[in-house]
Structure 1
Amino acid sequence: MNLLRFAVRRLLEMAVTLLGASFVVFGAMYLAPGNPASFLLAGRSASPAALAAIEKQYHLDDPFLEQYLRWLGNVLHGDFGRSLEYRTDVSDLLSSRLPTTLLLVGMALVLVVLLGLALGWLAAVRGGAVDSTVLVGTTFAVGTPAFVAAILLQGFFAVELGWFPSSGSGSGHGIGQMMWHLTLPSLALALYLVGLLARVTRSAMLEALEGEHVVVARSRGVPERHVVRRHVFRNALGAVLTTAGLIVSTLMVCTVLVETAFSVGGIGQLLELAATTKDFPTVQAICLIIIGLFMTVNLVVDLLLPLVDPRITLGTRSSS
């Protein structure tokens, strides 16, 4: 399939999926117990006339489909509405907090890729005690939830040793201070995925090591480091790339727990606060952003797979 045609088809599929997701996200407001207008009153009592005035002001008395189409039109123009909790535009809230979350996720992703690939490579190539050590370490990592890792890292490195800050993002003090503040949160966020990627890399490389092309390359006297790099690791990259969607989605979900534990102040913590206070416009906006990011990563992975592994055609993924 032509690359351009495939990309266009996937973009159209993404648009349809996002449209469906937006309908579900918006409709979820009506599944919450109580009247949406009651959340605007923050627990205060109001007369029926005052309640009707609030519903009219926020168009809550309009038919559901009309409300959804109005909201969708605003979203397409970059307007996610006004936060019910913070009394400001949701777009402003997101723009002030999104850089912190992106830096946190970026730092965690770097740790996941570097440590996960390195540990998987070492376990597959070295074997023996190295392989056993990596398996034990990754078992611990995969079995440790992000919020547990956050508590352990915070208690030991921040409270006991005092090496890192226990909370905050360091925003407003330069990129260096932000990275220092986000070191422990990024470690807590990356721990599970490092173990997962290391195991996927190890399994894929062990399978590639048994391939006939590897035997042929060794019989021709190709140096072992070239065999591993060119014939083993490259063939294993297809299986590694297929986990990219899972990695990104896990990072975005777990950042809610980690940011809350460290009081980072990104969109993960904002989502938790918005869900607690029934701040529907904010929850809707963040959910759409996460869904869009997940779908974009999957599209990029599908476009990269044929370049990494020529055996894979557009629209298919390796099952190895």
Structure 2
Amino acid sequence: MKFVLLRLVGLAAVLLVASFLVYGLLYLVPGGPMSFLLGNRTGTAEQIAAIRAQYHLADPFVVRYFNWLGDALGGDFGRSLVYRQDVTALLAGRVATTLWLVAYASVLIVVGGLAAGSLAALRGGRTDTLVSGVSSLFLATPVFVIGVVLVIVFARGLGWFPVFGAGEGFFDRVHHLTLPALTLALGSAAYLARITRASVREEMGREHVETARSRGLAESLIVRKHVLRNAAVPVTTVIGLTVAGLLAGAVVVENVFALDGIGSLFVRAIMQRDFAVVQAVVLVLVGAFVVVNLVVDLLYSVLDPRMAR
């Protein structure tokens, strides 16, 4: 419980600092918040005065920050300057698509990366060479290039998957999001496969594994009890960082496949200088990243109880 409480306190501290940076950095751009609120308009003195009064720009910065933070904790991120509606409603209508995409890609990464890396380490030879070659290819290929190739081959060429939209219902969503999820997952799965391969090979050369073999234990039991469990700690770190990073990678994939998620909303908000939406999306992404890392820390304590001391 002490370990969990310390991690929760750290989580709250990180989120507090992150929220301050998210709110404050947009106020440091040339022209400050007024440049976002006015957009491309010049604005009369009366309009500027009305905007300053509406957004409380005359108040001290710290007061404005804590007012915004209090509203954000209550689920109120303000109103979009472009869409003329609550930012929370904008996010709520799009977050499901992003969560589906990230969850689907995470499953592909974990299953594919762990399986390929473990197989390469345990079997070696041509299997190892093949996995290393394919992972190098995917690691060297940009995400948008993978997406374009998948669309050309499997959507336009073979007609197996749709190009646009997120679908409705479980099976329809899986069908629509297969190509986007693969685009998002292949590079990360290749990286995880390499880390898994290296970690498993290192554990196989440990003294306790050789001791287990000398005692006549079955190889399958040695792999499960002594190799994979110990190799899981560094692999878990990579999985946590990879899954957290998918939220940022989803921005590119959502634009390639025209998915209406928070990633595509974020890109449009930056281009349209919709600072309330930018603040909300960045804070959500940072929060998700920190929460995933908290889960990874808790998994450490399960895999190796010594880390919880």
Considering the TM-score relative to the shorter chain, is it more than 0.5?
yes
**Is 2:222 aligned against 1:235?**
no
Rounded Cα–Cα distance in structure 2 between residues aligned with 1:38 and 1:197: 43
Q: CA deviation at 1:268?
A: 0.9
Which of residues 256, 263, 266 is equivalent to 2:261? 266
After the TM superposition, which of the residue ranges 62-71 and 35-44 deviates more from structure 2?
35-44
Aligned residue for 1:30, secondary structure, equals coil
Amino acid corresponding to residue 165 of structure 2 in structure 1: G
Rounded Cα–Cα distance in structure 2 between residues aligned with 1:232 and 1:47: 70
For 1:67-146, what aligned pairs fall within 5 Å after superposition? Answer: 67-146=64-143
CA deviations 1:184-233 (Å, max 9, x no partner) are: 00000001110111011100100110112211222222221221122111
For 1:174-193, what aligned pairs fall within 5 Å after superposition? Answer: 174-193=169-188
Counterpart of 1:314 in structure 2 is: 308
For 1:1-320, what aligned pairs fall within 5 Å after superposition? Answer: 4-170=1-167, 173-310=168-305, 312-314=306-308
Superposition misfits of 4+ residues, deviation over 4 angstroms:
none
**Aligned-pair identity (%):** 49
CA contact (8 A) 2:121 2:128 kept: yes
Q: What CA RMSD, in Å, does the superposition of the two structures yield over aligned residues? A: 1.5
Q: Structure 1: 5+ residue runs without aligned partners?
A: 316-320
Q: Structure 2: 5+ residue runs without aligned partners?
A: none
CA deviations 1:65-112 (Å, max 9, x no partner) are: 221111011112111111111111111111111111111000000000
TM-score, normalising length from structure 2?
0.95
CA contact (8 A) 1:244 1:298 kept: no
Rounded Cα–Cα distance in structure 2 between residues aligned with 1:68 and 1:11: 23
Rounded Cα–Cα distance in structure 2 between residues aligned with 1:42 and 1:147: 30
Amino acid corresponding to residue 194 of structure 1 in structure 2: A
TM-score, normalising length from structure 1?
0.92
Q: CA deviation at 1:44?
A: 3.4
Amino acid corresponding to residue 78 of structure 2 in structure 1: G
CA contact (8 A) 2:245 2:289 kept: no
Q: 1:45 to 1:306 in 2, by over 3 A?
A: closer
Counterpart of 1:318 in structure 2 is: none
Q: CA deviation at 1:150?
A: 1.4
- Tell me how many residue pairs correspond in the alignment: 309
Q: CA deviation at 1:123?
A: 0.3
CA contact (8 A) 1:244 1:297 kept: no
Amino acid corresponding to residue 280 of structure 1 in structure 2: F
